[in-house]
Chains A and B, each alone.
Chain A
Amino acid sequence: MSSHGESEKFVPLDLSRWKNLPIVLMVLGGIGALIGLAVDPKQFGYSWLLAFMFAVSLCMGGFFLTLIHHLFDASWSVPIRRINEHLGAMTYQVLPFLFIPIGIYAMAPAIGLHLPSLYPWMNELLTNPAAAGHDHALQAKQPLFTVAGFFGVAAFNFVMWFIFARGLKAWSLKQDETGAAECTLKMRFYASLGIFVFAVTLTLGAIMWMKALMHEWFSTMYPVYYFAGSVWMTLATVYLVAAILKRQNGQLREVLKQKQFYFIGSLIFAFTVFYAYVTFSQYFIIWNANMPEETFWYAVREKGNFWDLGMLLIFGHFFLPFLSLLRIDAKLTLPVMVPLFVWAWIMHFVDLEFNIGPTPHPNGITAGSVALDLACLAFMVGLLALVWLRNFRAHAPYPIRDPRLAEGLDMYVAPSDIATAPGHAK
């Protein structure tokens, strides 16, 4: 990679006009969501769930990128690690609060809200225990699919995220002060257990919060499918955030180089392919075996405009980003990457619509439901952005004393035993 051309590719972005965007999003989204709640309280629950799953994708994506940074003992990603750490931290700072309405909606019939529960299985359990007793798919899942199971899983996830995402962030911040090797070792320890925690919590979250909307359906691939889409979308977000920060933050300008952007771009490309691979495999295996207890999930997604959403996912979630990222230089070209970021968000949104939509709208989503989805999403994204910025401003913008920083920047630093005087050498 040559250094010329850098100045042309990264045209300064004037973001002063956008400074208030998070607050605006939050307020407008919040008002929209409140109107939606008044007009169509049932839809509000699903819209909130969709936005919540989007927020989970983003925060868990950041958590995951932090984890693998440590597990791979990577150096190139040191400059972007703080971005991910703050994203990961929101798994316990924000997500538990965003979950409260989902908890209320899941329990709606039991707490006198005159609404069906968000989850048909929970509704059955709370309003018609006799029918629930005959529902084989539900009975098979006892005791996981009970009120206690549902909230137990949520509590477990939030506690785990609190312990591990917080541990990773805390030791990273500590290293900013001490620069000690011990902090790196501690972070590795958290990452080593954390990756198991990540796998288990993400699996449970994807199953209990999203797949359970149609509890008769089962697929071993499902959590991987949600994971692939989440990390893909998070990577696009991290790319954009890094590109903006490179302009806005003098300190980060020193460490965010082409290499970092190129590598994130390559990872986006890899996850584009991985998502397609996972999605195709799941569909293909179910299509081939043609067993009704599995195919119904796709059959309902061929009705109404879900057919169009599915087609949009095939071409938009895979082919378009795949082809636009195929060239090596595309990963460094902001006129490609910025629209790609917007597109990735739209595609992940469509993907979640495809997963959640058919439960409330068997015949296709409506303009009203999408508007309410977007309002909830705007509210949550505004909130996440505010929290993230607050965290970001409170600390160094990147791990300033990470021992792998020099290596990540391809700087040659003489080893410590040459630097020390002979008298001090051990």
Chain B
Amino acid sequence: MSATPRPYGVIAEFDTPADVMHAAEKIRDSGFLNWDVFTPFPIHGMDNAMGLKNSKVGWFSFVGGVTGYTLGMVMIWWMNAVDYPIVVGGKPMFSPFGAFPPSYELTILLGSFGAIAGMLFLNRLPRLHHPLLKHGRFRLATHDKFFLVIETTDPKYSETETRKLLESTGSKRIEIVEE
């Protein structure tokens, strides 16, 4: 156990969404990799400003939905037409019409599970601890302030240069966050 905490990154605080967005554009263009922006609400256009690609959550949901529909159809066919067929109301043992409503519901159910599980997986959530949450000012990231954090693990990180770069974006308050 080391007694001196390692620095986690450098954090810059901003007052308006426009300021943090311009800062993000600058950091993106400087080629940083391990950095992020923290805001009380999603800012329209920030993904672009950070150079993020379209989220992959959709694929998880799609796989979930297809599984749900197939599962529903196969289950109903097997239960009502194969394993224990009973004639009811002169209707066919299995019909895609009658089996549609439950299969449809299962499509939605598993599609939703896919979307949520995909989101949590891609965000590596839930997590019980995060270095930033210990930082005093960071509490305002869910209130009314906007933060930009560059991690020390970034290959381009340098204690003085990065700080200067952040200063040039107009942040009034730049601090080091400890691990």
A contacts B directly (C-beta below 8 A):
yes
Contacts of B48 in A (CB 8 A): 2
Contacts of B84 in A (CB 8 A): none
**In the assembly, what is the distance between CA of A246 and CA of B90, in Å?**
57
Secondary structure type dominating chain B contacts: helix
**In the assembly, what is the distance between CA of A284 and CA of B90, in Å?**
16
- Residue in B48, B90, B97, B100 whose Cβ sees the most chain A Cβ within 10 Å: B97
**In the assembly, what is the distance between CA of A287 and CA of B90, in Å?**
12
How many A-B contacts are there with CB distance less than 8 Å?
9
Per-position 1/0 for A34-50, Cβ under 8 A of B: 00000000000000000
Q: Which residue of B lies closest to A280 (CB)?
A: B100
Interface residues of A in 140-180 (CB under 8 A from B): none
**In the assembly, what is the distance between CA of A2 and CA of B51, in Å?**
13
How far is the CB of A290 from the nearest CB of chain B, in Å? 8
Interface residues of A in 2-38 (CB under 8 A from B): 2
Per-position 1/0 for B40-61, Cβ under 8 A of A: 0000010010000000000000
Contacts of A290 in B (CB 8 A): 90
Contacts of B98 in A (CB 8 A): 288
How far is the CB of A71 from the nearest CB of chain B, in Å? 28
How far is the CB of B66 from the nearest CB of chain A, in Å? 13
Q: Which residue of A lies closest to B95 (CB)?
A: A287
How far is the CB of A138 from the nearest CB of chain B, in Å? 31
Contacts of A288 in B (CB 8 A): 91, 97-98
How far is the CB of B55 from the nearest CB of chain A, in Å? 12
How far is the CB of B65 from the nearest CB of chain A, in Å? 11
**In the assembly, what is the distance between CA of A290 and CA of B100, in Å?**
18
**In the assembly, what is the distance between CA of A2 and CA of B48, in Å?**
9
Interface residues of A in 279-297 (CB under 8 A from B): 284, 287-288, 290
How far is the CB of B61 from the nearest CB of chain A, in Å? 12
**In the assembly, what is the distance between CA of A2 and CA of B45, in Å?**
8
**In the assembly, what is the distance between CA of A290 and CA of B91, in Å?**
10
Per-position 1/0 for B133-169, Cβ under 8 A of A: 0000000000000000000000000000000000000
Contacts of A2 in B (CB 8 A): 45, 48
**In the assembly, what is the distance between CA of A288 and CA of B89, in Å?**
9
Per-position 1/0 for B89-103, Cβ under 8 A of A: 011000001101000
Q: Which residue of B lies closest to A2 (CB)?
A: B48
**In the assembly, what is the distance between CA of A287 and CA of B98, in Å?**
10
Q: Which residue of B lies closest to A287 (CB)?
A: B97
Interface residues of B in 95-117 (CB under 8 A from A): 97-98, 100
Q: Which residue of A lies closest to B90 (CB)?
A: A290
Contacts of A284 in B (CB 8 A): 97, 100
Interface residues of A in 382-409 (CB under 8 A from B): none
**In the assembly, what is the distance between CA of A75 and CA of B91, in Å?**
50
Interface residues of A in 285-319 (CB under 8 A from B): 287-288, 290
Q: Which residue of B lies closest to A284 (CB)?
A: B97
Per-position 1/0 for B69-92, Cβ under 8 A of A: 000000000000000000000110
Contacts of B45 in A (CB 8 A): 2
Q: Which residue of A lies closest to B48 (CB)?
A: A2
How far is the CB of B123 from the nearest CB of chain A, in Å? 21
**In the assembly, what is the distance between CA of A176 and CA of B100, in Å?**
51
How far is the CB of A334 from the nearest CB of chain B, in Å? 21
Beyond contacts A284-B100, A288-B91, A288-B98: 6 other A-B pairs, Cβ-Cβ < 8 A, are: A2-B45, A2-B48, A284-B97, A287-B97, A288-B97, A290-B90
- Please list 9 pairs of residues, one from A and one from B, whose beta carbons are closer than 8 Å in the complex, sorted by A's number: A2-B45, A2-B48, A284-B97, A284-B100, A287-B97, A288-B91, A288-B97, A288-B98, A290-B90
* Closest A-B pairs by Cβ, 9 of them: A284-B97, A287-B97, A2-B48, A290-B90, A288-B97, A288-B98, A284-B100, A2-B45, A288-B91
